Structure 1
Amino acid sequence: MPRSSGNGAVTRSTLRQQIADALRDEVLAGRLQPGQEFTVKEIAEQYGVSATPVREALVDLSAQGLLDADQHRGFRVHEYSVEDFRGMIEARGLVIEGMFLALTEGRPGAVRPDDPRAAAVVAGVRRRGEEAQRAAAAGDLTVLIGYDLRFWRELGACFGNPYLADFLNRLRLQTWVCAVQHLRRLTDLRGELWARHTELVDALIARDNDTARSIIAGYNAHSVALIERLASG
């Protein structure tokens, strides 16, 4: 991440976003552990920037549910429970169901996957899905998270409701943060990670909502069972 410069080339808002992105990546990589505490001053010194954009970035991450703020001790990485994970999976499923309904009902602004005019959009989503599947097969969690978040962000944008898409992206980020706390304990993740992204895209293109729902239900059940198993191990 670039350091702050006196010529103003790097604006405060840019630094704010860069710091937030960097810290989010640290949490997802497991380098910032659940419950780990730090101060604005420590982060500012680490990245060689002033305190203001750091404080703003940490407040942003707190609003996203990734950090907890303590007026006297600074910030700490939020600790999610297995019950939290179950709740997020349930909420995520309800949001996705709403998106399926938007397609079925032909919501204005929705990009129907079976519409030839949407071919470029769908092709891009499918490429993200293919990359996510390759990373899952290889057990590369870091790469998987990046492509999985992009896959769902781009797929969510097709449904014509930016509020649903933004909410889904936040839920997916939180579920990954929670899952990482457990998945990083495994030395080999091959065969453990869900990888049916392209099947879901194919079902949506075919307007086969029953198959799409079945894929999502299987995904949710797999995710909950995996985290429960790791949490109890």
Structure 2
Amino acid sequence: MPPVPDGPAVTRNTLRRQIADALRDEILGGRLDPGQEFTVKEIAEGYGVSATPVREALVDLTAQGLLDSAQHRGFRVHEYSLADYRAMIEARSLVADGIFRGLTENPPENPGTPAALAGVRRRGEEAARAASAGDLNVLIGYDLRFWRELSALFGNPYLSDFFHRLRVQSWMCAVPVLRRAGDLRGRLWSGHCDLVDALSHRDAAAAHAIIASYNTDSLALIERLSDR
């Protein structure tokens, strides 16, 4: 594993967050497989850091549903099922609809909102390009940033954090299946900019339709690939 960036400004809390982010990326990148076990010592040695921030990072990831605590053996990457993915899709839809209604019926008064929405669109453009190219690694990074920044416009950090966690978990569930599929060009959702356009026009019905189609297609793809 690559070393975690270090320096005089790095505190234990920032190191803990860096380790947690790095391990999350390892999982989403398919470099840590579902069910794979490891210890605090192994991770600490791999990153060249002390055990304390590693243990704290692993506990954080366990609370987020990415890891399981394996008694007397350390930790293991959580294994999600197809039923879990279906439930995540349903939960994502409910949260997204609430966010869309808020953004279209009671748009934020913050004067920086148009610029923020333009920034979200740029993330969407990058995500769409990666999706069309079938580049899963790049897509996941931009997709997570897209949804995090979009949900932040709603103005409720608790809801935004919850929605981000759902997005991470659903990617974590889908990634092992998608990586076995081979060429993904043209098979991944790329409607990010269409969604931004609908929200810019305060069209909650269009936004709902875009996400409903996205969820239906994504679930169908994972179900087909899982059947193989």
TM over 0.5: yes
1:160–1:11 CA distance, 2 compared to 1 (3 A): closer
Distance 1:111 1:124 in 2: 16
Which residue of structure 2 aligns with residue 127 of structure 1?
122
- More deviation in 84-93 or 178-187? 178-187
Which residue number corresponds to residue 179 of structure 1? 174
Q: Which amino acid aligns with 2:85?
A: F
Contact 1:68 1:78 in 2 (8 A): yes
Return the offset for 1:70. 1.7
Question: Could you say which residue in structure 1 is the equivalent of 2:10?
Answer: 10
Q: Deviations over 1:54-84 (max 9, x none)?
A: 1000001101100000221110000000000
Structure 2 residue matching 1:20: 3-state secondary structure: helix
CA distance in structure 2 between the aligned counterparts of 1:104 and 1:196, rounded to whole angstroms: 18
State the alpha-carbon separation in 1 of the partners of residues 197 and 5 from structure 2.
44
Which residue number in structure 2 is paired with residue 111 of structure 1? 108
Counterpart position of 1:34: 34
Report how many residues are paired. 226
Distance of 1:119 and 1:9 partners within structure 2: 34
Tell me if the contact between 1:3 and 1:48 (Cα under 8 Å) persists in the aligned partners. Answer: no
Distance 2:210 2:117 in 1: 18
Letter in 1 for 2:211: I
In 1, Cα distance between the equivalents of 2:206 and 2:95? 17
Q: Which runs of 5+ in 1 are unaligned?
A: none
Q: 1:117 to 1:37 in 2, by over 3 A?
A: closer
Secondary structure at the aligned position of 2:220 is classed as helix
Question: Displacement, 1:103?
Answer: 2.8
Q: Deviations over 1:156-208 (max 9, x none)?
A: 01112222111110000000000101011122110110000000010111111
Q: How much has 1:104 moved relative to structure 2?
A: 4.2
Is it true that 1:142 corresponds to 2:137 in the alignment?
Answer: yes
- What is the root-mean-square deviation in Å for CA atoms of aligned residues? 1.7
Q: How does 1:1-233 map to 2 (within 5 A)?
A: 1-2=3-4, 9-106=9-106, 110-111=107-108, 118-233=113-228
Check the 8 A contact 1:3/1:49 in 2, yes or no.
no
**Matched-pair identity in %:** 69
Whole-angstrom CA distance in 2 between matches of 1:164 and 1:52: 30
CA contact (8 A) 1:3 1:47 kept: no
Counterpart secondary structure, 1:69 = strand
Gaps of 5+ in 2: none
Distance between the aligned counterparts of 1:105 and 1:199, measured in 2?
19
User: Residues 104 and 203 of structure 2 are in contact (CA less than 8 Å); yes or no, is this contact kept in structure 1?
Assistant: no
Judging changes above 3 Å, is the alpha-carbon distance between structure 1 residues 121 and 4 closer, same or farther for their aligned structure 2 residues? Answer: closer
Distance 2:28 2:104 in 1: 34
**SS of residue in 1 equivalent to 2:69:** strand
Q: TM-score, normalised by structure 2?
A: 0.94
> Residues 4 and 49 of structure 1 are in contact (CA less than 8 Å); yes or no, is this contact kept in structure 2?
no
Counterparts of 1:62 and 1:172 in 2: how far apart (Å)?
Answer: 16
- Opposite residue 108 of structure 2, the aligned amino acid is V
Q: Give 1:14's aligned amino acid.
A: T
Instruction: Write the letter of the residue equivalent to 2:136.
Output: L
Structure 2 residue matching 1:207: 3-state secondary structure: coil
Amino acid at match of 1:162: P
**2:20–2:60 contact (8 Å) kept in structure 1:** yes
